[in-house]
Structures are given as C-alpha cells and as structure tokens.
C-alpha cells in the first residue's frame, strides 16, 4: 500500500491542489468542539454560515420534526433540534461543501450520510460499553465517526468513473468492500484519501488518524483505540445497511477494545432502532 504522504503528493500532482475549506469553517469546527458552548453562542457562530442556517431551518420545519407552527428563527430551530443534532448537521454540511459527489454515477448521498451519522453514534455507544477504564472524548469520537468516510466524497468528485465502477462491483457481490475495490481500481482507498484531506486541512491529529487507519486492524500507533472503535462501528453500520441481522464478528478488535460480544450485540440493536430515523434525516438534508 502506498504511504499517505505519497497519496497526498499524487493527488496534488494530478489535481493541482486539494480542495480548500470555505473561510470560517476551521473556526466553526473548533467552536463546535467546545463542550461549554451554549445555544446563544451557537446561534451567533452559525449565523455566519447562511447555507447551514437555511438547512437547519428547513430541517426544523420538515415532517421529521413536525413543529406545530412554522419555525422562523435559528435559535428556535436549535432549541427544537437539540445541540447534538445541530452540531452533527453543521459539521457534515461544512466539510462536504467543497465537493460535488453528484459527478459520480451511483453515488447515493442518503446512504453516505446515513452511514456517517450512524457510525458516529455507534462509535460513542461502543466506547461507552467497554469494560476497560479507558477514558475518551465523546464529542471528538462522534466527530471522527462523522468524518470517517470523508475521503469517499473526494473520490466521487475527482475520480467519478472509477468510484462508480467500485460501487458497481460491491453492488454485484456482497463479499466485496468499497475500500478494497477502490484500492484495486484507483490505487488508493477512501481511508488514505481521508487522511490526506485531514492533513491538508490541518484537522486535529485524532481525526486524521481515525480517517486513515479505521480499516486497519493491525494499526497500533497514536489514537489506535479511537481508530479501532470507529472502524468496528463503521463495519457494524455497513452490515446493517446490507440488511444483515447479525453484526460482523470482528473478534480480534473487540478483544483489543475489551468489549464483550453481548455488549456489541446490544449496540447493534440500538443502531437498528436508529436506522429509519437516521435514514430519513439524511434524506431530508442531503438527497
């Protein structure tokens, strides 16, 4: 497998520059990571991003929320949706804004974001079920789950035909995985690309590590625990979206995390319960 640095160099050589985050987004991401932020501060910060405000108002007025009267202010929308959901939606909208995945035939935005949102929830649920004394930052882990497949947006935008071919291979054979198909076709998978994007955007190291190494069960470097949690959660979500009643075994990584199968199975049930609601949320926001 090519090194991450080589991956980044190849992308820059082929496409001049990696996409640049819109002005203010790094500040927004930093503010959203603040556990002490209140609704008033959140309203002021989000007010600088009209496109995000519009989406939040649209969501607050949708059938997903079904307000009794029209929601006409950002403060009201934030109150109805709750800070955690507002945070998730704002992060998703801000980091996806530089990309146009519709260039890729077969790219399903609803599926992509349903996967990201469920992986974020699943990672926190799994981390909370460990029998070890491991302490973790739930907000950082949730954000990492949201970002875990971000590299796929770049591939759909910049390698649309190749990425579409990978999707077709996976659709024809349940045993195939998108990451491996992309590696075979493009020479890099969405994990490598995600790590490249994270470094180019100067994202915190924990996000870069998780995006890059979530699929590597042999990774033992910095933030390996968080990377493993997100990787297991992402595998569980993928299995459920394929309609599997039982989660993937992943026994080695569960042992590394000190999570029992019964606890893993309980998280899987919780993900099943969240599935329809999350899919509808993704449809409203991103389809």
Comparing 130 with 14, the larger pLDDT belongs to 130
- Residue 217: band (very low, low, confident or very high) from pLDDT cuts 50, 70, 90: confident
pLDDT tens digits, 266-283:
999 999 999 999 999 999
pLDDT digit string, tens, across residues 77-126: 999 999 899 999 999 999 999 999 999 999 999 999 999 999 999 999 99
Question: Is 165 in the same domain as 256?
Answer: yes
In this structure, the answer to whether residues 11 and 55 fall within a common structural domain is no
Long-range contacts of 156-163 (CB under 8 A, 24+ apart): 156/99, 156/101, 156/103, 156/104, 156/107, 157/99, 157/100, 157/101, 157/103, 157/104, 158/11, 158/14, 158/15, 159/104, 159/186, 160/103, 160/104, 160/105, 160/107, 161/104, 161/105, 162/186, 163/104, 163/107
Same domain, 130 and 216: yes
pLDDT at 32 over 90: no
pLDDT tens string 164-199 = 999 999 999 888 899 999 999 998 899 999 998 888
User: What is the predicted pLDDT for the residue at 11?
Assistant: 55
pLDDT at 246 over 60: yes
pLDDT at 211 > cutoff 80? yes
Residue 47 has pLDDT above 80, yes or no: yes
Last residue of a domain, one of 35, 69, 97: 97
Q: Which of 72, 97, 122 is the last residue of a domain?
A: 97
- What would the mean pLDDT of 25-33 be, rounded to a whole number? 85
Say yes or no to pLDDT of 52 above 90. Answer: yes
**CATH number of the domain that residue 104 is part of:** 1.10.3210.10
> Which residues constitute the domain of residue 13?
4-18+99-286
Q: Hey, what are 106's tokens?
A: 């077969």
Same domain, 89 and 121: no
CB neighbourhood size of 133 (10 A): 6
Q: pLDDT band for position 33 (50/70/90)?
A: confident
pLDDT higher than 80, residue 263: yes
pLDDT at 28 over 90: no
Quote the mean pLDDT of the chain.
89
What is the rounded distance in angstroms from the CA atom of residue 239 to the CA atom of residue 152?
A: 18
Model confidence at 1, in pLDDT bands (50, 70, 90)? very low
User: In this structure, are 249 and 279 located in the same domain?
Assistant: yes
Q: Where a domain ends, among 80, 97, 114?
A: 97
My answer on whether 88 and 148 are in the same domain is no
Instruction: Give SS3 for 134.
Output: coil
- The DSSP secondary-structure symbol of 218 reads T
pLDDT at residue 15 in the model: 52
Total domains in the chain come to 2
Is pLDDT of 4 > 70? no
Could you give the angle at which helices 74-81 and 83-96 cross, rounded to 10 degrees? 110
Average pLDDT of span 120-144? 91
């Amino acid at each position: 497998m090519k090194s991450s640095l080589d991956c980044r160099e190849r992308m820059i050589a082929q496409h001049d520059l990696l996409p640049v985050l819109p002005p203010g987004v790094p500040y927004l991401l930093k503010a959203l990571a603040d556990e002490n932020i209140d609704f008033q501060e959140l309203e002021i910060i989000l007010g600088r991003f009209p496109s995000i405000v519009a989406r939040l108002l649209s969501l607050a007025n949708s059938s997903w929320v079904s307000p009794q009267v029209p929601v006409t202010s950002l403060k009201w929308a934030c109150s109805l949706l709750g800070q955690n959901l507002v945070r998730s939606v704002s992060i998703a909208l801000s980091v996806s804004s530089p990309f146009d995945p519709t260039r890729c035939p077969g790219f399903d935005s609803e599926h992509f974001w349903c996967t990201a949102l469920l992986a974020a929830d699943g990672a926190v649920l799994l981390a909370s079920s460990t029998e070890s004394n491991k302490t973790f930052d739930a907000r950082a882990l949730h954000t990492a789950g949201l970002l875990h497949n971000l590299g796929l947006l770049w591939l759909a935008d910049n390698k649309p035909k190749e990425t579409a071919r990978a999707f077709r291979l996976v659709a024809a054979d349940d045993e195939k995985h998108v990451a491996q198909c992309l590696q075979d076709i493009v020479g890099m998978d969405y994990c490598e690309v995600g790590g490249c994007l994270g470094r180019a955007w100067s994202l915190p190291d924990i996000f870069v590590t998780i995006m890059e190494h979530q699929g590597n069960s042999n990774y033992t470097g910095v933030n390996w625990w968080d990377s493993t949690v997100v990787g297991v959660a992402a595998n569980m979500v993928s299995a459920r979206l394929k309609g599997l009643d039982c989660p993937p075994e992943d026994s080695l990584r569960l042992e590394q995390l000190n999570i029992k199968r019964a606890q893993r199975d309980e998280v899987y049930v919780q993900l099943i319960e969240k599935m329809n609601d999350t899919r509808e949320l993704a449809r409203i926001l991103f389809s």
